[in-house]
């Protein structure tokens, strides 16, 4: 897997420019909901920089969690003389580690998808309705792909 430059605190402008070469042009096309101000370049650079930072952090956390899970699985047969409580405790630990790895994978996939949407110029557009997701919603949760209405419909199903 290709590793991006680790980011600490803020994203270097050169990395933003290299990752999102058309951002200054595309920001004007990112939709907003009625009553919201249009996206500014500074706002979208902040969101994009945060996503890049999150991506790198999540990749590192996933690597570590994968190593921990592999170690747990490798050592799972070591306690042949363990009692049932020890076996149950080990199984619970493996299950928790597997859940952590799966959650990290999902969050990393969402983060990468948001980065790709910014690159493609489709960020801020609901993937179901084609309507604006909402600037405030994206600033709170930059991985959102659905408008509030589409998300509410999805949750009612």
The larger pLDDT score, comparing residue 100 to residue 85, is at 100
pLDDT of residue 2: 38
The larger pLDDT score, comparing residue 39 to residue 95, is at 39
Burial (CB count within 10 angstroms: exposed 0-12, middle 13-18, buried 19+), residue 20: buried
Burial (CB count within 10 angstroms: exposed 0-12, middle 13-18, buried 19+), residue 84: exposed
Percent with pLDDT over 90 in the chain? 62
pLDDT digits (tens, 9 = 90+) for 120-152: 999 999 999 999 999 999 999 999 999 989 999
**Other beta carbons less than 10 A from residue 64's beta carbon:** 12
Residues, the chain: 157
pLDDT of residue 14: 83
Residue 7 has pLDDT above 50, yes or no: no
pLDDT of residue 3: 38
* Mean pLDDT confidence for 69-94: 67
In order of 31, 59, 78, 138, the CA distances from 95 in angstroms are 41, 21, 17, 32
Task: Determine the Cα–Cα distance for residues 10 and 19; give it in Å rounded to an integer.
Answer: 15
pLDDT digits (tens, 9 = 90+) for 9-30: 566 788 888 899 989 999 999 9
DSSP labels, 103-122: HHHHHHHHHHHHHHHHHHT-
pLDDT digits (tens, 9 = 90+) for 89-102: 667 777 888 888 99
CA 4 to chain centre: 15
């Amino acid at each position: 897997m290709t590793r991006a430059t680790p980011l600490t605190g803020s994203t270097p402008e050169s990395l933003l420019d290299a990752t999102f070469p058309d951002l200054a042009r595309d920001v004007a096309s990112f939709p907003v909901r009625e009553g919201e101000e249009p996206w500014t370049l500074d706002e979208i650079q902040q969101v994009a920089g945060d996503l890049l930072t999150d991506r790198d952090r999540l990749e590192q956390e996933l690597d570590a969690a994968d190593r921990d899970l592999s170690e747990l699985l490798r050592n799972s047969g070591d306690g042949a003389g363990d009692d049932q409580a020890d076996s149950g405790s080990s199984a619970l630990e493996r299950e928790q580690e597997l859940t952590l790895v799966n959650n990290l994978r999902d969050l990393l996939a969402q983060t990468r998808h948001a980065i790709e949407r910014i690159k493609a110029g489709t960020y801020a557009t609901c993937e179901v309705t084609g309507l604006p997701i909402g600037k405030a919603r994206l600033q709170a949760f930059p991985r959102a792909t659905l408008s509030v209405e589409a998300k509410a419909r999805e949750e009612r199903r």
